[in-house]
Amino acid sequence: MLDATSDMQYNLACAYLERGDMEDALASLDEAERLFVEQSQEDGLSPEEIEDGKIVFDVQRAYARQRLGQQEAALAGYEEALRRRPTDAEVGAVASNNLFSLRGKEQGLFDTAKRAKALVLEEVVEGKLTARQRRVFSLNRCLVALHTHNLRECARALEKMEKEHAGSELPALVRAAMLARERRMEECRSLLQGHAEANAGTA
């Protein structure tokens, strides 16, 4: 749990991230982490607890570097955060989600167990995520299921996405990918053509 002063700095960093001001976000994250460590030591937290609490700052720094185009640094940050096994499910879920966004279908990214765990994590932390994070999680959840040939799970995730993000083009694209995976190419083409015609101004 972040103390009030550290929490304010962290929230400021998140505001900078939303605004696209990555350099100020990184500076605020550094300051928030410093204040967190200082207060945690005063409160008598163990070194292990402090290290665990610092992971959230590392994940957000990795995200800032991802937005800056520093892909290798971002990958290293997410992987290191997951290696340290954060006790905060939200932190682990965001790191897993962002890592998947960066690496996609790359061979060896997740073994089957890790993929399944990533799908469950969204359920655990969904209420704490921003609208943008929920949208990206919904997409990645569908993609993980699709890439592991779990079409039943993909259909379930897609149904959820269609309800929550009805105005987005993502559900149509995921459904087209499902049809293609099932070799229903005529239906896939028809769906994409219909979507393009219905959204001529944006598609």
Task: Give the 3-state secondary structure of 48-116.
Answer: HHHHHHHHHHHHHHHHHHHHCCCHHHHHHHHHHHHHCCCCCHHHHHHHHHHHHHHHCCCCCCCCHHHHH
pLDDT for position 72: 92
What Å distances lie between residue 141 and 68, 87, 99, 148, 157, CA to CA?
25, 21, 13, 11, 7
pLDDT digits (tens, 9 = 90+) for 83-115: 888 888 778 878 887 887 777 545 444 444 454
pTM above 0.75, yes or no: no
Q: What is the mean pLDDT of residues 158-180?
A: 82
Closest CA to 48 of 13, 23, 84: 84
pLDDT digits (tens, 9 = 90+) for 24-76: 999 999 999 999 999 999 999 999 999 999 999 999 999 999 999 999 999 99
Closest CA to 124 of 91, 151, 153, 147: 91
In the predicted structure, residue 120 carries a pLDDT above the cut 80: no
